[in-house]
Amino acid sequence: MFFDAPPSPLQLLEHSELVGMPIWIKRDDLLHPIVSGNKFRKLKYPLLRIAQQLDSPSPPTLVTMGGMWSNHLHATAFAAQAFGYQSIGLIRGDSGVNSATLDDCRQQGMQLQFVDRTSYRRLRTEPLFWQQLLPDFSCRLQQFHWLPEGGSDPDALRGVAEIVGELELQQPKLPDVIMVACGTAATLAGLLAGLKGRSTVVGVAVLKNAEYLRGEVTRLLKHAGYPDYQNYQLLTDFHHGGYAKSSFALQQFCLQFCEQSAIMIEPVYTGKVFYALRELVKSGYFAPQTSIAVIHTGGLQGARGSLRV
């Protein structure tokens, strides 16, 4: 079955010149060649839920949204095809935009529909607005299922929470600190759900002005039925100019990291986490014996759009 994967490896990174102290890396990037990292974790329970709800002979249609380099769209297109489902991607931008990611989505059978900025914003804030954008929505024969931006459905948290169970089996004790990239904050919230108040999650916001993500963590936990866990810190100063923006220093760091560790990281998500980690270690943010695990959330395909400063 698609989501029956063994636990992702937990690997020790000993090269102290990279970040300044030994670090564990949870290699979720190895979970699946395409549906990798947090996409695998976040899509698992929403897709299993849909599989259980099937009540019509025609395949359901997954509807979701994303930008032209979105890892979520890419993974959803693939997973939908693997389940025999149809998929529609609502893409930010006009129909002239294209990318290798969108080409891959089309190849997996995803139907792409381009939406302007205003509509895209409404998709984020109005839970049922997507229905107004689909001409066939009222067609009774077709079952549509919505996945919000980044796949950050309440059921997504349950899949991410499974990381914690794996860590407990892989180590005698949970790491003191777990670091992860934050876009919608669902992955961070899922980790909190699994930790149930233990350890501390340090989330590195990959976008600018990300203070609002604290409210999102609360909202996501609440919608998924978990308590409002507060054992996390949100770092908002390591965005390097904003979402999918990068700095020369970050690009250099990612290259050096890949060369020295033989682990590929990209500058949109995991690269920003390791960069932040190195800066925090340099500034003495962590007590000397702190055990730290970084979640490698995958998404290397998206780096095809970020190889510029």
Ligand X SMILES: Cc1ncc(COP(=O)(O)O)c(C=O)c1O
- Considering the complex, state which of residue 36 and residue 261 has its C-beta at the smaller distance from ligand X: 36
Task: Give the active site residues.
Answer: 70
Sites for ligand X among residues 20-59 (CB under 6 A): 37-38
Contact flag: residue 152 with ligand X (CB under 6 A): yes
Q: Rank residues 43 and 50 by Cβ distance to ligand X and give the closer one.
A: 43
Residue 118: CB partners within 8 Å, gap ≥ 6?
none
CA 114 centroid distance within chain: 22
Looking at beta carbons only, is 272 or 278 nearer to ligand X? 272
Q: C-beta of 185: minimal distance to ligand X in Å?
A: 5
User: One symbol per residue from 175 to 194: x for binding ligand X (CB under 6 A), - otherwise; what is it?
Assistant: ------xxxxxxx-------
| Distance of closest approach, residue 184 Cβ to ligand X, in angstroms | 3
Binding to ligand X (CB under 6 A) within 228-287 occurs at: 269
The verdict on 108 binding ligand X (CB under 6 A) reads: no
- Does 120 interact with ligand X (rule: CB under 6 A)? no
Q: Which is nearer to ligand X, 43 or 143 (CB)?
A: 43
CB atoms within 10 A of CB 249: 11
Residues of this chain that bind ligand X (CB under 6 A): 37-38, 71-72, 150, 152, 181-187, 269, 297-299
